[in-house]
Every structure is written in structure tokens, then in C-alpha cells.
Amino acid sequence: MTIPGFIVRNALRNKRRLILTVLSVALSLFLFTTLQTALHLMTHPPTTEEAALRIATRHRVSLANVLPAKYQFRIERMPGVRYCSKFTYFGGIYKDQSQSNFAQFAVDADRIFRIFSEMVVSPREEEEFRKEKTACIVGAKLLERFGWKVGDKITFQGTIWGCDPELTIRGTYRGQGIDETLVFFHHDYFDELMGDRGLVGAFWIKAGSAEVVPGLIERIDAAFRNTDAETKTETERAFQLEFVSMLGNVKLFIGSISTVIVFTMLLVTASTMSMAIRERSREMAILKAIGFNASEIAGLILAESFGQAMTGGLLGCLGAKLLFAHLDIYKLSGGNIPMFPVTADVVALGLLVALGLGVASSIVPARSTIKATVVEGLMELD
């Protein structure tokens, strides 16, 4: 019999225990991978080369404060600015509060799809959206969720703003790695409903190149310093991460849960290996008697522990990746989670944890087996 065959036969000696151990590791690492994916999405929002060119300008005090619309003319004249659009979060209710977990933005219709060039809209639909003041463009997932069709009319009840836009869907957008659950409508229509007060929630800007972004951020904020509405300009990524910070220390919370999961897995695998090796004390003593040294005995135990942990790790981590790749997480979450991609980095982290578990859970049984003499091992009862 070969050494690998000997290891496999020992692992399969108690099939029920082996299956339960592997499944417990797989389930734990599935949960670990899911939590780490959620954390990765919050702390590392999906980005593209185009996103690196985008910056956002808002009120320095908070997102709740507004800016004068006239700032747009000064921003557009600054060197390095390619496009600039008004970008006001509307936050209206569609039918009832439970169905309104998606964002609506009032924007400049002739610029928004040049700034967000990843959003793919047919030329005909984009043209119709630009020409009609009460038109809107919606994300493909949102269109599917509510069963809307191009030409349908939808109304949003204002909560933050004192108006109720009545919009006509004139197109839909799609895009790889972007949120397909948004609604965009004309800022001109919003201004008209609000009595042309000239207020803007924020400005979204696309720079000519990534090199000019740092200097452009400084120039914009310097231009409006010491005014009644000072600005805070930052990259799109930094702007998105501010929303995560509002949730508190999410990283610590998820990290704590992940640590508990890993510790629980360690207890399970270590207990299983200790029990299995204790039952084979006489066999280990015989292996010593026929010439196996301490490192070879430890290697056998490590290989068995490593095999169980990695089998569970592969089932849990790759299972999570395959499952979330084929599930429509947007529908299952009721529109709360637009996408949930399990990245290769997260899978690698999960497998690294499994590897560590395999090594750590073999230390105690290997140490006790090595310390025991041949006589002590042969005295043990099966």
C-alpha cells in the first residue's frame, strides 16, 4: 500500500464523521466567503478606468446641504474638465415605501451618458430622452423588477423635495459592473417643478485624464472657498465610501463575525483530528516500531487534516462563487443588493483560511502522538 492510499483509508475509516466534518467546514467557509464578499463590495466598490476620471462636488458641510446651480458654469470653464452635470438625489416614493429602495437622480440629459460612458443606451432611446423634458431612463434590472416597458408613465412622490415628478420611460441602460437599478430624469424638469430655485444636490464631473484629477479637485474647492456654500470635491470612489462610513464600523463588525466562524471551524477540525488519532494510538505506535520517525508521523497526520480542511474549503468557497454567479441576487434581496460578485481574491482568502485550519488542527494530535512512546501507544485500547 502506498502512503497516499494509507492516508485516504485512514480518513475514510469513519465515513460519517468525515462527511460531517467536511460539511461543517464547507458551510462555515461558505458563510465566511459570503461575509467577506459583502465587506469587499462595501469597502471596494466596483470601478472601471472611466470611473477613475470621475469626481463629485458637493456641499462641504454634508450631503444634505445644497449648492447653487450657477457653480456649474465656473466648474465647466476650469482646465481639465471635460463634462459636468448637475446630479441631485431625489429620493422619491414609488407606490409605497417598501418598493422604493432604489435611487432617482435629476441630471443634465445631454451630458450624463458622456460622464457615465459605461452605461449603454441605444442612440434612439438616448435621443428621445434628451428631447422630452418629462422623460426618464431606467436601469435594466429595475425595468425587469417592476415589469415596466418603454413608454410607461411612472410618478414619484417627493419626500426630500416638495414636488412629484410624473415621468415617461423613454429608454433603459445596461452596463458591465455598474448599478442597473437607477432612474435618471431631466434636471430642467426638476427645476421647473421646484419653481426654478437654482439648487443642486451635487455636480458629477468627468476629467480629461487621470493625471489632472488631483489638481482639479484642489482648484474646484479653492474656487468656492469662503463663500456661503463651500464645496468638498473628491473622487467617485471616495464619495461612495463615505456612505459606508455612515453605517458605522462595518469592517469591525463583519471581521468579528468572520473571526468567530474561523475559531469555531478550528475547534471542530481539531476535535475531529484528536479523536481520530486517539483511536489509532496502537497503529501509530506500530508505525514507530517499524521505523517511521517523528517527522513522518507528523506528516501523515498533517496530510489527513489538510485533506479534510481543503476539501471543505473547496466545497464552501467555490460553491459560494458558483451559487452567487447563477442566482439573481437582485430579485432575491427585493432590490436591496444590485450585484454580489464573489471575486477570486475572496475565494483565495477562504482557501487560505482552510489551509491554515488544516495545519493548525493537526498540531495537537501530532505533538501528543510524537511524545508518546511505543510502549504507551501499544497499551492503548482500540
pLDDT in the model for residue 268: 82
* Number of neighbouring beta carbons within 10 Å of residue 212: 17
Where is 319: in which H helix or E strand? helix 294-326
pLDDT in the model for residue 21: 85
Please determine, for residue 192, whether its predicted confidence score (pLDDT) is greater than 90. Answer: yes
> DSSP letters along 162-214, please?
S---EEEEEEEEB-TTS----EEEEHHHHHHHTTS--EESEEEEEES-GGGHH
Among 270, 256, 268, 331, residue whose Cα is nearest residue 302: 270
Distances (CA, A) of 189 to 91, 105, 198: 16, 12, 12
128 touches 197 (CB < 8 A): no
Distances (CA, A) of 338 to 32, 77, 102: 20, 36, 10
The whole-angstrom separation of Cα 264 and Cα 307 is 18
Residue 202 binned pLDDT confidence (cut-offs 50, 70, 90): very high
Section 179-205 average pLDDT: 92
How far does Cα 359 stand from its chain's mean position?
29
Please determine, for residue 381, whether its predicted confidence score (pLDDT) is greater than 60. Answer: no
Section 70-91 average pLDDT: 93
Cell of 340: 454580489
Please determine, for residue 258, whether its predicted confidence score (pLDDT) is greater than 80. Answer: yes
Greater model confidence, 64 or 347: 347
3-state helix, strand, coil split of the chain in percent (to 5) is 55, 15, 30
Please determine, for residue 253, whether its predicted confidence score (pLDDT) is greater than 60. Answer: yes
The whole-angstrom separation of Cα 278 and Cα 216 is 68
The region of weakest confidence among 19-33, 195-209, 361-375 is: 361-375
Write down the domain spans for the chain.
Answer: 3-45+249-379, 66-228
With pLDDT > 90 as the criterion, what percentage of the chain qualifies?
42
Please determine, for residue 229, whether its predicted confidence score (pLDDT) is greater than 60. Answer: yes
Question: In the structure, how many helices (H) and strands (E) does the chain have?
Answer: 15, 11
Angle of CA points 27, 32, 38, to nearest 5° = 130
251 touches 39 (CB < 8 A): yes
122 touches 174 (CB < 8 A): no
User: Which residue is associated with the grid cell 421647473?
Assistant: 192
Greater model confidence, 303 or 352: 352
User: Which residue is associated with the grid cell 446630479?
Assistant: 87
Residue 179 binned pLDDT confidence (cut-offs 50, 70, 90): confident
Where is 58: in which H helix or E strand? strand 54-59
The whole-angstrom separation of Cα 250 and Cα 43 is 9
Distances (CA, A) of 47 to 207, 261, 314, 349: 16, 30, 28, 21
pLDDT in the model for residue 6: 59
User: Which residue is associated with the grid cell 457615465?
Assistant: 116
pLDDT, tens digit, for every residue of 271-322? 887 776 776 666 666 666 666 666 777 777 778 788 888 999 999 999 999 9
User: Count of alpha carbons within 13 Å of 303, Cβ hemisphere only?
Assistant: 15
pLDDT, tens digit, for every residue of 9-68? 666 666 787 888 889 889 999 999 999 988 887 777 666 677 889 999 999 988 889 999
Among 163, 173, 184, 166, residue whose Cα is nearest residue 102: 184
